[in-house]
Chain A
Amino acid sequence: MTTTLAAPRSASQPTPFDRGRGPLTGFGTLLRFMLRRDRIRFPAWTLGLVLLVAYFANALQLVFPTAADLGAFAAFSSNPAAALLMGPGFGGDEPSLDRFLASTYGMYLIIGACLMSILTVVRHTRLEEQSGRAELVRANVVGRHAQLSAALGVTVLMNLTVAVLMGALLTAMEFDPAGSFAFGASVGAAGVAFAGIAATSAQLTAFPRTASGIAGAVLGGGFVVRGLGDMSAAQGGDLGWLAWLTPIGWSQQVAPFDENRWGPMAVSVGCFILFAALAYALSTRRDLGAGLVQARRGSAGAAPWLSSPFALALRLQRASLIGWTASLLAGAFVYGAFTQAMLEGFADAPPELLVLFGGEDDLLTGYVGMMGLLFALVVTIYAILSVQSLRSEEAEGRSEAVLATAVGRPDWMGSWIASSALGVLLLLVTAGVGTGAGAALTTGEGDLFGEALLGHVAHAPAVWATLAVAALLYGGAPRLVPLAWAVFGYAFVVGFFGPLLDAPDWVVSLSPFEHIGEYPADELSSAAMLTLTGIAIVLTGAGLALFRRRDLTAA
């Protein structure tokens, strides 16, 4: 083989080293590169959030054409249950559509922006390091902090886009401009704060999923802490300051369309600066690709039980199941323990609102029943994520190793889905125990424990049916698995906003979660449970059959 040597670079040509030596060298290039990589993701997230608010605003205008129709809102804003789930209802004494929008739906937009930030930061930092791509980048003329800075830049840009577009869109829909932009900014501010938090969590561990998990736990913990604070404030208690400890709380204290305070957002930005600085400091103390927490050594051989595809599937989902069990138990207990406070707070709420809990006669059972639906939906998140993990197993080439042994395709996928279905059951029992124990302890009604447990577990067939939709999509074409979130989103909106928005029956009945009944408020329908279980089995079977026929998608 003959090669000609390239002529030596002439002295007049600039070398790449001339471009800069600072820790931010390459920031601009990386920022543009990340935007290029996110050319679908960026608009999907930002426009998704913005269109969601437009949808809510539009729907509210249709449902409540006049301010008088919003009578329920007054009670809503001062009742602790709403405060726990949705935040402080500012300006409830003077009901208006825009305040209702901000105080009812603001929470979900804020959480959406926070998740957007966490996933974006981790995607461009820790995931890049784990995959080894960051090594390629860092070996180039790129400063030590350029990648983290560019990732934060992209994320802040996403949140700014959300804030500005949301403000502009609501203004265009003839909402008060000052309130519209304050509302948009409050959503973006929480997202910015979580960009900083995720930047720090990405330094702690070598693994992207753990990094997202840590930031997600901060978000979840913040939700609970803020909820307790808001609940206390609604009841005139003295724990209202708890809401001021969390990014969600700061954003909600903006009180859009009411006080339009911009001050709390400064706290969010301060939080961002603090955690971003911490992330920079931590990143200089570790090696590329390493976390601050070192991995431990494990066992030299597999335990004897680890010898079937089902056992392997369970083993691979074990860590996630343990995490979910612990957080669900804690979360459900908090919500269950809130039953008594809710009863008192709702004593004289208007009937329009009580419809959400099945009417005032059964406030207690209505609340416990609604918790069952709430946690069933939370467990559905686990179910869909577990199918997405199966997809990663395949995409990252590990399913190939399993399928190259004497394990058939239906065996492998079936084992995975079965272990997910079992996990669903375990998590529902856990949540039921949490809610039941909390409710029984605070109200003194021991029967509630068993009722809550049954009410939670009874939703299993609906969760399984959703799991089966994800399994069917996986069997057919793995990249379609995210479509299963549509079922989740639909069920969530129908379940929690359907009664308030007076949705037509057929719309409600399309959700798999609306047939079994919210025990103890409703009777349980065993026919629905059997039907949904049957649907789950049929869909999973179809998924298995499809998986048998397609090519394995290898990395």
Chain B
Amino acid sequence: MSATTSGAPAPAIRITDLRKRFGSVTALDGLDLTVERGEVHGFLGPNGAGKSTTIRILLGLLRADGGDASLLGGEPWADAVALHRRLAYVPGDVELWPNLTGGQAIDVLSRLRGGVDRARRDELCERFDLDPRKKGRTYSKGNRQKVALIAALASDVEMLLLDEPTAGLDPLMEAVFQACIREAKAAGRTVLLSSHILAQVEVLADRISIIRQGRIVETGSLRDLRHLTRTSVAAIVDRPADAIAAVPGVHELRSEGGQVTFEVDGDAMPAVVRELATLGVTALTATPPTLEQLLLRHYGDDVDDVESSHVEVAR
């Protein structure tokens, strides 16, 4: 689709100072977010941080209490219908009509959006290994998720809003999903991909925004966010590991016999690898940080607290 851009295109999503309360609970507390056209943007945050609320406001399903949000150059609440023709949405918790089959649900949702590409739909059913003839109420969570994904991916739209779209998928299907997102990106589509698992977003996203308690706390490319990421390394080495302890950016080094464990800042990795090479490594594992560790380290969050205090918002 190209007819919609005129002159310098506005960002796909521009949100400034967005606020939303549910009763006494603050779901969004001055959220700012910009997503450029054509990028895959990871929207990362623990459960209940406000991801779904943000997406629902972008869809015009909820009305913001304050702040501005623009989507594909339009206003989410007022222009909802016109905007929805140009985007597709996959909710985190897909509910289907109990009496309609998966195939019927895909067709209905696609048609209501403005038409379905039959061949693409059938191809996606095959790739995701979905039996479209089963009734909605008999699908498992993962299969319901596939139905919503196929309905979204089969549409010829400019933008995909995906709210934890792979929550119920097995690793094989997650790989199919990743391939589909790459194809969407290659076709020039903008993708907003929310998740609470860093590793899921990392492999796909051009840029990442991290939301915490209703605000964006970090945003940038993976490279920009390197300073946040600290990799855990465990190795078995022949020689003493003192040299590694001296590298700036290495933390919490512990050495016991030949076993050495430590954490290393993202930008210190090259130096560490050079030092490791001289130590006669016989076994090596490096574990990327999880979102929870990251938030814990940088914001002092006790993640359990964050989740429990915001869990009502997600209800």
Using a CB–CB cutoff of 8 Å, the interface residues on chain A facing chain B are 1, 130, 206-207, 295-302, 306-309, 312, 315-316, 319, 396-398, 400-409, 411, 549-552, 554-555
Q: Say yes or no: B137 contacts A554, CB within 8 Å.
A: no
Given contacts A301-B132, A552-B56, contact A401 B109 (CB under 8 A): yes
Assess the B109–A1 pair: CB atoms within 8 A.
no
> With contacts A306-B108, A406-B114 known, is A398 near B95, CB below 8 A?
yes
Could you tell me the distance between the alpha carbons of A296 and B99 in the complex, rounded to whole angstroms?
Answer: 10
Per-residue contact bits, chain B 57-76, to A (CB 8 Å; 1 contact, 0 not): 00111110000000000000
User: Are A405 and B135 in contact, CB atoms less than 8 angstroms apart?
Assistant: no
A298-B135, A406-B81 as given contacts; A397 in contact with B100, CB under 8 Å: no
How many angstroms from the CA of A307 to the CA of B108 in the assembled complex? 6
Contact of A397 among B84, B95, B105 (CB under 8 A): B95
Closest Cβ of chain A: how far from B21's Cβ, in Å?
11
| Chain B residues within 8 Å of A401, by CB | 89, 91, 94-95, 109, 148
Chain A residues near B148 (CB, 8 Å)? 401
**Could you tell me the distance between the alpha carbons of A119 and B148 in the complex, rounded to whole angstroms?**
32
B85 adjacent to A406 (CB under 8 Å): yes
Let me know if A408 and B81 touch, CB within 8 A.
yes
CB distance from B215 to the nearest CB of A (A): 21
B111 on interface, CB distance cutoff 8 Å: yes
- Rounded to whole Å, the gap between the CB of A425 and the closest CB of chain B is 23
Scoring A302, A316, A402 by chain B CB atoms within 10 A of each residue's CB, the highest score goes to A302
Judged by a CB distance under 8 angstroms, whether B107 is at the interface is yes
The 4 A-B residue pairs with the shortest CB-CB distance in the complex, in nearest-first order: A302-B107, A298-B101, A405-B112, A404-B89
Closest to A298 in B: B101
Confirm or deny: B290 has a beta carbon within 8 angstroms of a beta carbon on chain A: yes
Q: What's the Cα separation between A400 and B61 when bound, in Å? A: 7
Known A300-B101, A408-B80; further 8 A-B contacts with Cβ < 8 A = A298-B104, A298-B135, A302-B100, A302-B111, A316-B97, A403-B60, A407-B112, A409-B80
Chain A: minimal CB distance from B74 (Å): 13
Interface residues on B, range: 35 or more
Q: A295-B135, A405-B109, A551-B61 are in contact. Are A302 and B104 (CB under 8 A)?
A: yes
Give the Cβ gap from B13 to chain A, nearest Cβ, in Å.
15
Chain B: CB-nearest residue to A1: B293
B240 within 8 A of A: no
Q: Is B103 an interface residue (CB 8 A)?
A: yes
CB distance from A476 to the nearest CB of B (A): 15
> Given A398-B96, A408-B81, does the pair A302, B135 have CB atoms closer than 8 Å?
no
A299 to B103 alpha-carbon distance, docked (Å)? 7
What does the 1/0 interface line of B107-119 toward A look like (CB < 8 Å)? 1110111100000
Task: Find out whether the CB atom of B133 lies under 8 angstroms from the CB atom of A300.
Answer: yes
Q: Which residues of B contact A (CB under 8 A)?
A: 56, 59-63, 80-82, 84-85, 88-89, 91, 93-101, 103-109, 111-114, 132-135, 137-138, 148, 290, 292-293, 315
Contact yes or no, B112 A397, CB < 8 A: no
Task: Using CB atoms, name the residue of chain A closest to B107.
Answer: A302
The listed residue (B56, B93, B109) touching A555 by CB distance below 8 A is B93
Closest to B148 in A: A401
A302 touches B99 (CB 8 A): no
Taking the nearest CB of chain B, how far is it from the CB of A290, in angstroms? 10
Residues of A contacting B108 with CB < 8 Å?
302, 306-307, 312
By a CB distance below 8 angstroms, the chain B residues around A409 are 80
- A298 CA to B99 CA in the complex, in Å? 9
Residue in A closest to B118 when the chains form the complex, CB atoms: A301
Could you say which residues of chain B place their CB within 8 Å of the CB of A407? 81, 84, 112
| Contacting pair B104 A301 (CB below 8 A) | yes
B1 to nearest A CB, angstroms? 14
Interchain CA distance A348-B315 in the complex, whole Å: 64
Q: A206-B137, A298-B133, A300-B133 are in contact. Are A405 and B84 (CB under 8 A)?
A: yes
Q: List residues of chain A with CB within 8 A of the CB of B133.
A: 297-300
In the complex, how many angstroms separate the beta carbon of A22 from the nearest chain B beta carbon?
A: 32
Q: Which residues of A contact B112 (CB under 8 A)?
A: 307-309, 312, 402, 405-407
Closest CB in chain A relative to B51 CB, distance in Å: 13
Known contacts A319-B99, A397-B95, A401-B148; is-contact A207 B137 (Cβ 8 Å): yes
Q: Distance (Å) between the CB of A136 and the closest chain B CB?
A: 15
Q: Chain B residue with minimal CB distance to A206? A: B137
Distance A302 CA – B137 CA, assembled complex (angstroms): 16
Complex alpha-carbon distance, A406 and B89, angstroms: 11
A308, A397, A406, A408 pick with most chain B CB within 10 angstroms: A406
The answer to whether B62 touches A551, judged by C-beta atoms less than 8 angstroms apart, is yes
Question: In whole Å, how far is A309's beta carbon from the nearest beta carbon of chain B?
Answer: 7
Quick one: given A301-B107, A309-B112, are A403 and B135 in contact (CB under 8 Å)? no
Query: Cα distance A316–B95 when bound, in Å?
Result: 14
Complex: chain A residue closest to B147, CB-CB: A401
Query: Nearest residue in B to A209 (C-beta to C-beta)?
Result: B98
Complex-state Cα separation, A500 to B166, whole angstroms: 64
Chain B residue at smallest Cβ distance from A290: B138
CB-CB < 8 A to B63: which residues of A? 549-551
Known contacts A207-B137, A295-B137, A551-B61; A302/B80 CB under 8 A: no
Complex Cα distance, B97 from A207, in Å, reads 13
Q: Which residues of B contact A206 (CB under 8 A)?
A: 137
Complex Cα distance, B107 from A550, in Å, reads 28
